[in-house]
Amino acid sequence: MGALTNPIAYTVYFLTSLVLLVIILDLVFTGQGEQFNLGRWLVTTSPYMWMDLGSALCVGLSVVGAAWGIFVCGTSILGGAVRTPRIQAKNLISIIFCEVVAIYGIIIAIVFSARQKEVKPDVGFARESYWMGYALFWSGMTVGLCNLFCGICVGITGSGAALADAHDSTLFVKILVVEIFGSVIGLFGLIVGLLASGKVSDFQ
């Protein structure tokens, strides 16, 4: 059942929208509409928060993509191996492709953490620091989403490779080529993350 046709989900969405609308209208009609300022909120938040959030999303989404791919691929390998035990060994390469996706996220998180420096509480941040925090947040989001979709793609393709191999061993290499091209999506995200982190300066 879709989210919009689910009565519980529809009620949650409606109540959340209603509460937000009431808060915004209250600020506008009481002369405090300037408090609803997205730009001021972005300036007053710490760039460290944005960088850490980008690292967390990068690792979290990468691990979800890897786990999803291993789940989809692993069940097909185990199911096909019941009838055709010979597919167990060589189809483990699909599991390795899925696991590499999580490693990409870990690498980017380590690169981001190397940018952190100690900042005294009585010293503010320079404009370059805010730019760095936002850049690392969006690059971490990009890497995480690339790895998420890469894990799903590799998992589904690896599942098809295992089932095809169980039916006809000559199909394994052909589908493996497709799986390799799917795994390159995560490598693209890794390259984007490395380029983004290399262009920004340290916190000031």
pLDDT tens profile 128-141 = 777 888 888 888 99
What CATH topology corresponds to 39-199? Answer: Four Helix Bundle (Hemerythrin (Met), subunit A) (1.20.120)
| Helices 47-83 and 172-199: angle between axes, nearest 10 degrees | 170
Average pLDDT over residues 14-23: 85
Amino acid 60: pLDDT: 93
For the chain, give every domain's residue range: 1-36, 39-199
Instruction: Please spell the DSSP secondary structure of 81-144, one letter per residue.
Output: HHH-TTHHHHTHHHHHHHHHHHHHHHHHHHHHHTT-----TTS---HHHHHHHHHHHHHHHHHH
AA identity, residue 24:
I
Amino acid 152: pLDDT: 92
Residue 20, helix vs strand vs coil: helix
Which of 166, 152, 165 is closest to 62 using CA atoms?
Answer: 152
Amino acid 147: pLDDT: 93
pLDDT tens profile 27-81 = 777 777 666 666 676 777 778 888 889 889 999 999 999 999 999 998 888 888 8
Amino acid 201: pLDDT: 65
Average pLDDT over residues 85-91: 83
**How far, in Å, CA of 123 to CA of 119, rounded?**
7
Residue 10 scores a pLDDT above 70: yes
Amino acid 1: pLDDT: 44
Amino acid 203: pLDDT: 54
Is this structure's pTM higher than 0.85? no
- Residue 168 has which token pair? 């006809």
Instruction: Please spell the DSSP secondary structure of 171-203, one letter per residue.
Output: GHHHHHHHHHHHHHHHHHHHHHHHHHHHHS---
Amino acid 125: pLDDT: 67
Residue 152, helix vs strand vs coil: helix
pLDDT tens profile 150-176 = 999 999 998 888 888 888 888 888 888
